[in-house]
Structure 1
Amino acid sequence: MRSTQVLGRTARLAATALAAVSMVTACGGGGDDAADKTPPKTTQDKRAPRPVHDPPRKFAMKAGTVIPKEATTGRLTGGRLDEDLPVALYRQTAFVAAPDAVLAVDTVTGKTVKRLTPKGAPFQDEAEKLANTTPAAAPLVVQDGKQSAVVAPFLVKVTGSGTQASHTAAEVTGVDATSARRLWSMPIRLPKWVSETTSQVTAAVVGSVDGTVVVSVAASDQAVSYGLDMDARRLLWTKPDYRAKTVAGRTMVGESITDVGTHRRAVGYDAVSGRDLWKGVDSDSLEIQGAGPHLVTAYGSEYDSGDRYAQLLDARNGSVKAKLTDGPSSRTCRYDAKDTLVCGGLGTTQQEATALDARTGKTLWRLPDQSADRIAPKVTAVWHGCVYGTTDSGAVVLNARSGEDVSARAGAAPVLVNESVGLALDKRGDQLMAYPTTG
C-alpha cells in the first residue's frame, strides 16, 4: 500500500483556486436527492476547470475518460487491482508514473498533454519493460516554494566517461503541477547493489516536509533512502540499509534492514536533519503504512519470540497508541487526509471495516453491525471525510466519522479521488477510467 496513502497526497488547494464551483463542505447531507448534473461542456476551452466537490459523493458515469494503460500495467489481474496506482491527482490532471516517463493526463479530455522523460537513459532495457520488472511508484504532490509541484524519481543508467565509471542513479524530477512544465532535475548516485541485484528495484518519493523530500530506493533485501533539499537542490542526508515508507509530520518512518533477508526494525528519523529519533523491536517481518498526521501502522513478528503484533504507533517517538486487530481486514488502512483512518478488507467470511481517529487512535465505528443489520463495504478509497466502496447493491459512500451511509447511488467506487475526479475500473474491470465528480 500506497502508503497509504496514499490518497492524502492530492492537493487541497483546488477548492479556493477554481472559479465558479459547486462545493460540498462535508461528507454528509444532501442525500441521494442532491443535484446530479454532468459538468457542462465547453467549446471554447477544453482545459476549463470542472465544478469541484470537496469531498465528492457522486460521479458522472457517462462522462468518463480513459486513463493510459501505464497506470495499470502489471497491476491488473482478473478485473482487480493488485497494487496501488502509480498516479497522483492535482485538480483535473492525473500524473501517471511509468519507469521511463511521467504522463500528465487531462482527465476532462483523456488526452496526454505532456510526457516527461528522464535526462538519463532508462534503467530498464526493452525486455525488462515488457516483463514490468521495475514498476514505478506514484509521484508526490508537494509545495515547492509558492507553487505546487509533482515530484517523481527515475532510475537511470549513467555512462562513464574518462576515469568516471558507469553507474546507476535516481534522477529526481520536479514538475509544475499546473502547467506540467519541468522545474528541476537532480541525480543521486546509487550504490552498486542497485545494478547488481536480481530482485525488483523500486524508487519512490515517500513524503515531504519543510522543503525536504524523502526518496527511497529498495529491492527485496536491500534499501537506501535520501533526503533532498528542493530549494537548494542538494542532498541533505543518506541512510544506507533503510527503506523509508512514509513521512508523518516531521518524522519519516521506515524499516531498517539489520540482517539481509531476515531482521527488520521500525525506525523513525527527523525527515529534515536525518537525526535518529527512535527504534522499534527487532522483527523478522514488518509492514509499515502512514496513518495520519503523526501516526503509522506497524505489523510484524518479534524476531526472538515469534509473537505477532499489529500496532498504531506515534511516529514522533515510536510509542504504541493502540493495538489493532491482526488480520487481512486490518492490513489495508487509508488516511483521509483530514482526521480519520479507515482499515478494511476481507475477514474470515465477509468484508470488514473499522474507522479510527487519526490523531488519538480511538475506534469510531466498525462494520458489519449485526444489531443494525448493516454490512461492510469493500473499501476502495477514503478522502476528506468520505469512505468509498462497493457492496452487492453497487457503489456507496459513507461518512468517515460516523460510518453512516451518505450515498447509495454514487455511480463509481474510486480507488483514487480528489475534488474534481475519481479514478475507477470500468464495468468490465480491464480499463482505468476518470469519472468527474457531480455532487
Structure 2
Amino acid sequence: MLRPLVAVTAAAVLLAGCSGGDDKKSDSPPGGDGTNASSSSTPTPTVAEPQSFDPPKAFSVVAAVAEARPDGPTELDGGKAGMVGKTTLYANRNGLAGIGIEGGPSWQVPAKEIASTKVEAYSRPMSVQLDGKEVIAMAYTQNVEAGGTQKAHGQVVFQWIEPVEGKVLSTVSVDLGPVTSPGNTAAGLASTTYDATTGQLAVGVGISANGDAKKHDVVTVFADPTTKKGMAIPGIEAAGVLDGTVVGAKGESGEGSKAMSIVVADGTTGAIRKNTPVPTMNYLHVEGTGGKHAYLSGSGSVKDGKYDTDYLHSMYAVDLASGALTETKLQRTEDGSFGFTCFSDHVTSLVCNGSGDRTADGKDITEILAFDDATGKKSWGYTSVSGSRVVPSVTAVYNGYIYGKAETLPAVLDAKTGQDVPVPTPTPAPSTGQTPTDGTSPTDGTSPTDGATPTDGTSPTDGSTPAPGSGTWGDLSLVYGDPVSPEAVSKYGSVYTLGAAGKSPGSEKILVVQKAIA
C-alpha cells in the first residue's frame, strides 16, 4: 500500500459545480514509544504551501492514486479516505497510508504487528487533539488465532499518529476475552466515536460466536491515548465519549422488544452511572456524536386501528457532560425500515439523511435534518415530499458546512441554517483532451508533469493498467465520471474515492485528492 511518488507540479482541474522536515524512517514496529512503521527514504521535495479556507467552499483536483488491495479476501466496499490538516489518508485492513496534499514522501503504519493476527475491521481516519496538536486516530478490530489449547480471541487496537511523518505517538490494545465467551471473536465496528479535545476513543464492536455460546452481541471499548489504558464494557454500543464518560445503547433490538435503554458509563472503570429506559422503542440505533452530545435514533411499532401498524421515530440527544437526555419526536411512518445516516463536525452540528417509507405513488421518501449540538435539538430539515428543494446525499460535515451531492452535482450547505452556500463558478477543462499543470505547459497525463524521475525508481503510470498501488502523485488520468462530493475535508482540501475496476485493475480504490480553492 506504500505509494510510489514522483516530484511534480500538481495539475489543477476544477470540479464542475462543487456547489454545494525531513523524511525519517524507523525499522521498529508501531508502538506507544514513539516508533513508526515505514516511510520512503527519498529527500523531501520543495513544495509550495497550500492555501487554506476554514471552511472551504470549493475544490480543485490535484492528484489521484490507485491504492493496492489489502491482504485477505476482497471487501465489497473496502478502503476509507481521510484528511487531517495537510495530510491525505487512505485506510484498509493493511493499515494507514498518508501523504501531504502537495506530494512529498509518503508513510505507512501497519494495522498489526504479528502476521498471524487477522484484521477484521477498521475505522475511518479521525482528526483529534493530543497534547494540543492535531493528530490522526485509528481503531482496528483484530482476531488472534488459536494456539495450543487456547481458543481464538478478539482484540481492539487503537493508534494515534502524527500526520506529517506517520510517527506513532500512542497505542492501546484491549483484549476482549475477559468480557466474551471462550472462542468468541471480534467482528465489525458497530460504531466509532471520539472526543476531539482529548483524543479519547470509544468504539462498539460486534461479537462473533463461532459455534460457541455468546454472552453479548456487542461490546464497547474505550481507550485513552494519554494514560495508554483501555476498558471493555459488555452489552453496550458506543454512541459518544467525552473526558472519560461514555454514552451508549443497551438492549437487544427487535420487533416487540421493550428492553432498550440509553446508558452513561465511566470509560476507565466500565461502571454504569445512569440507565434510562426507552420502552416505546423496539429498535435503538447509534447515529453519531458531536462535541457535546451523543445521538441515537429509536423506532417502535404502534397499532393504528385493528390491523394496521405505524412506526414512531425519535432522535435522542444525550448531554455527554451531564447525562441529560433530549428527545426530538419525528414524523410517523407506515414502514419500520426508515433509517438515518448521520455526520458531525464535532463543533456545531449533526446532520442526517433519512430514507425509507414509500409515498402513495410508490416512491421512497428521503429527508435531511440537522441538530444544533449546543442544545441537542433539531434546528432545520425537509423531505423530498415536503420541500421544494432537492434533498442532498450528505458525505461530510466540516466546521459548519455540509458537503453532499444533489442529483448530479456536489452541493455545499450551511449546517446551521440549511441554506445553500454561494460558491465560485468553476473553470471548464480545456477541450484539447490535455490537462493543464500550472497554466503554462500542458501534459497528457503519461509522465510526471515536471519531467522528474520517480523518487523510488519506479516508472510513472500512463493510466492504462497500473499495478496495484502504483498510481503516481498527480496522475489525473485515473479520475473519471461526474464530480464527487468529498468524503473527508480539512481547511486545505478534501479527498474522495472511486472504484478502480476498469481504470486500474488489481487496485482496491482510487483516492482522489483536491485542494481547497475558495
- Give the structure-1-normalised TM-score: 0.70
2:85 pairs with 1:91: yes
Cα separation, partners in 2 of 1:308 and 1:329, compared to 1, 3 Å: closer
Paired residue type of 2:56? P
How many pairs were matched up? Answer: 380
Q: Deviations over 1:255-274 (max 9, x none)?
A: 23469997543322244554
Q: For the pair shown, which has the larger CA radius of gyration, 1 or 2? A: 2
2:201 pairs with 1:206: no
Aligned to 1:359: 374
Aligned to 2:446: none
Any conservation in 1 of the 2:97–2:106 contact (CA below 8 Å)?
yes
Question: What are the equivalent positions in structure 2 for 1:235-384 lying under 5 Å apart?
Answer: 235=230, 237-247=231-241, 251-257=245-251, 264-272=260-268, 274-275=270-271, 276-281=273-278, 284-301=282-299, 308-315=312-319, 316-325=322-331, 331-346=340-355, 348=358, 349=363, 351-367=366-382, 373-384=388-399
Q: Report how far residue 287 of structure 1 moved.
A: 0.6
Q: Secondary structure at the match of 1:103?
A: strand
Q: Secondary structure at the match of 1:121?
A: coil
Aligned partners of 1:258 and 1:329: how far apart in 2? Answer: 19
Q: Report how far residue 369 of structure 1 moved.
A: 8.8
Q: Secondary structure at the match of 1:135?
A: strand
Q: Deviations over 1:8-34 (max 9, x none)?
A: xxxxxxxxxxxxxxxxxxxxxxx98xx
Q: Secondary structure at the match of 1:405?
A: coil
Q: Report how far residue 395 of structure 1 moved.
A: 1.8
Question: Where does structure 1 lack aligned partners over 5 or more consecutive residues?
Answer: 1-30, 33-42, 77-82
Paired residue type of 1:55? P
Aligned partners of 2:499 and 2:174: how far apart in 1? Answer: 42
Match among 394, 418, 431 for residue 403 of structure 1: 418
Any conservation in 2 of the 1:295–1:312 contact (CA below 8 Å)?
no
Any conservation in 1 of the 2:354–2:366 contact (CA below 8 Å)?
yes
Aligned to 1:27: none
Aligned partners of 2:342 and 2:414: how far apart in 1? Answer: 16
Aligned partners of 1:427 and 1:257: how far apart in 2? Answer: 37
Any conservation in 1 of the 2:143–2:186 contact (CA below 8 Å)?
no
Q: Report how far residue 438 of structure 1 moved.
A: 0.9
Aligned to 1:224: 219
Cα separation, partners in 2 of 1:277 and 1:362, compared to 1, 3 Å: closer
Q: Secondary structure at the match of 1:310?
A: strand
Aligned partners of 1:370 and 1:301: how far apart in 2? Answer: 21
Q: Secondary structure at the match of 1:424?
A: strand
Q: Report how far residue 195 of structure 1 moved.
A: 7.7
Any conservation in 1 of the 2:298–2:315 contact (CA below 8 Å)?
no
Cα separation, partners in 2 of 1:427 and 1:355, compared to 1, 3 Å: same
Aligned to 2:63: 64
Question: Among the aligned pairs, what percent are the same residue?
Answer: 21
Any conservation in 2 of the 1:310–1:326 contact (CA below 8 Å)?
no
Q: Report how far residue 249 of structure 1 moved.
A: 6.6
Any conservation in 2 of the 1:120–1:157 contact (CA below 8 Å)?
no
Q: Which has the higher mean CA deviation after the structures are superposed, 351-360 or 108-117?
A: 108-117
Any conservation in 2 of the 1:268–1:318 contact (CA below 8 Å)?
no
Relative contact order higher in (CA < 8 Å, ≥ 6 apart): 2
Q: Which has the higher mean CA deviation after the structures are superposed, 198-207 or 46-55?
A: 198-207
Cα separation, partners in 2 of 1:362 and 1:103, compared to 1, 3 Å: same
Question: What are the equivalent positions in structure 2 for 1:79-228 lying under 5 Å apart?
Answer: 86-109=80-103, 112-124=106-118, 134-154=120-140, 155-157=142-144, 167-191=153-177, 193=180, 196-197=183-184, 200-202=187-189, 206-208=193-195, 210=198, 212-219=200-207, 222-228=217-223
Q: Report how far residue 299 of structure 1 moved.
A: 2.4
Cα separation, partners in 2 of 1:211 and 1:137, compared to 1, 3 Å: closer
Any conservation in 2 of the 1:380–1:415 contact (CA below 8 Å)?
yes
Cα separation, partners in 2 of 1:250 and 1:194, compared to 1, 3 Å: same
- Give the structure-2-normalised TM-score: 0.61
Aligned to 1:40: none
Cα separation, partners in 2 of 1:238 and 1:341, compared to 1, 3 Å: closer
Aligned partners of 2:124 and 2:293: how far apart in 1? Answer: 21
Aligned partners of 2:225 and 2:407: how far apart in 1? Answer: 47
Paired residue type of 1:279? T
